[in-house]
Amino acid sequence: MKRPTLILLGVISILLMGCAEKKSSNGVDNSQNSDLTVIEPGEGPFIPEGSGPGEGPGDNWEYGATAQFQLHSLERLMEYTMQARNNPTNIRINVNLTNKGGNRYGGTVAISYTDSGQYYEGFFTSGDSEGDNRYNIWFTKNGKNVYHGFFEDYYGAIVLVVDEMESGGDGQAPDQASGRVYFKNFDLAYAPNPLYGSLPGWGNPRTYCWFISIGPYDCRSWKSGNDVDTTRDINPDSGYKLLGSFSGLDVEDAFNDEF
- The 10s digit of each residue's pLDDT in 130-158 is 999 999 999 999 999 999 999 998 889 99
Mean pLDDT, the chain, integer:
80
Q: What are 144's strand-pairing partners?
A: 141
Question: Does 204 reside within a domain?
Answer: yes
Domain with 168, as residue range(s), is 10-254
Dist. CA 214–CA 56, nearest whole Å:
30
Q: Phi then psi for 128, rounded to 5 degrees?
A: -110, -15
Q: Residues 6 or more apart from 211 whose CB is under 8 A from it?
A: none
Q: Is the pLDDT score of 210 beyond 70?
A: yes
pLDDT of 190: 52
pLDDT at 133 (0 to 100)? 94
195 confidence band (pLDDT: 50, 70, 90) = low
Q: What is the pLDDT of residue 18?
A: 27
Which pLDDT score is estimated for 174?
Answer: 55
Contact 96, 108 (CB under 8 A): yes
Please give the pLDDT value at position 168. 60
In a domain, 2, yes or no: no
Give the mean pLDDT of 231-258: 96
Which positions ≥6 away from 160 have C-beta within 8 Å?
95, 109, 147, 148, 149, 151, 179, 181
Q: Is 1 inside any structural domain?
A: no
Domain annotation covers residue 142: yes
Q: Which pLDDT score, from 0 to 100, does residue 47 have?
A: 78
Ranked by mean pLDDT, which of 46-50, 142-146, 246-250 comes out on top?
Answer: 246-250
pTM value is 0.81
Domain membership of residue 192 (yes or no) is yes
| pLDDT, average across residues 233-245 | 97
Structural domains of the chain, count: 1
Top-confidence residue, 201 or 236: 236
Cα gap 167→163, rounded to integer Å? 14
pLDDT at 49 over 60: yes
In a domain, 94, yes or no: yes
**Residue 140 domain flag:** yes
Q: What is the pLDDT of residue 179?
A: 97
Go through 104-132 and write b for each residue having 16 or more CB atoms within 10 A of its CB, e for each that does not.
bbbbbbbbbbbbeeebbbbbbbbbbeeeb
Q: What are 60-115's pLDDT values in tens digits?
A: 999 999 999 999 999 999 999 989 999 999 999 999 999 999 999 999 999 999 99
* Cα-based distances in Å from 119 to 148, 162, 184, 212: 28, 26, 22, 33
- Out of 22-36, 99-113, 173-187, 214-228, which region has the weakest mean confidence (pLDDT)? 22-36
Residue 251: what pLDDT?
Answer: 95
Per-residue pLDDT, 160: 98
Q: What pLDDT is stored for residue 189 in this prediction?
A: 52
Q: Which of 116, 111, 117 is nearest to 153 (CA)?
A: 111
pLDDT at 259 over 80: no
What is the mean predicted confidence (pLDDT) over 2-15? 33
Question: What is the mean predicted confidence (pLDDT) over 205-216?
Answer: 83
Cβ–Cβ under 8 Å, residues 127 and 32: no
- Identify whether 259 is part of a domain: no
Higher pLDDT, 107 or 42: 107
pLDDT of 217 reads 87
